[in-house]
Amino acid sequence: MNQEQWNFLDRYFGDQIVHSDAALKAALEASIKAGLPSINVAENQGKFLHLLAKIRGARRILEIGTLGGYSSIWLARALPAGGALVTLEADADYAAVARANIEWAGLSDAVSVILGMAADSLQQMIADGVEPFDLVFIDADKPSYPDYLRLCLKLSRTGTVIVADNVIRHGKLADPANTDPDVQGMRQFFDLLAKHAEVESTAIQTVGAKGWDGFSISLVSR
């Protein structure tokens, strides 16, 4: 198997069962036009997040790392009437693109894009005593994953699902001597998951349009 075959299969799944639409395609096109990095989730991964939110019955979703709003649209479309998605973005240009894409998709009433450093925004939400979230999706700067996990747990309740993206780092995670800050951040993240008695977790390796990668999924059981 090689990258060409992985790309082909992702396109096959997209055409056969994912069925992207004009708003999702426009979000990707607008992101490219604005010069945003092409690090959004793949089409089939977006649908996976959408289905996971539906399976969970999530009414409140927290996303860390908005980029151009592509995954935000997938997640927000899984919300029931009256549901809400809060998505955090540190880059003002990215946030502007995301807001426009989310508005184009007709989801502005359900989605709040909060500009600022995610850790600061999370701490403010904790201080404000916001209602806990049912689903959390972490897809931002990797060295901060341990901090995001600690803070997100304070915004969770029994049954909250926490998904973290890009956790495999092309296999570099397996090398404890690797000094890459992204890899070290992920190893600390998994150390925290392993030690937390009230969180059940696993991780899945994936291949596809995004190469060799994977995600973790955790269930808060306290």
8-state DSSP, 174 = G
CATH top-level class of 3-220: alpha beta
pLDDT at 159: 98
Average confidence (pLDDT) per 10 residues, the chain, 222 residues: 92 94 97 96 97 98 98 98 98 98 98 98 98 98 98 98 96 93 97 95 95 96 84
pLDDT at 89: 98
pLDDT at 222: 76
**In 14-109, which residue ranges form alpha helices assigned H by DSSP?**
22-33, 43-56, 70-76, 92-104
pTM of model > 0.95? yes
Candidates 74, 186, 188, 80; CA nearest to 137 is 74
Domain ranges of the chain: 3-220
For 105, the token pair is: 């998709």
* C-beta separation of 86 from 107 below 8 A: no
Residue type, 176: P
Residue 34 and residue 93: Cα distance in Å, rounded? 9
* C-beta separation of 53 from 80 below 8 A: no
Say whether 4 sits in a helix, a strand or coil: helix
- Cβ contacts of residue 12 below 8 Å, gap of 6+? none
* C-beta separation of 51 from 78 below 8 A: yes
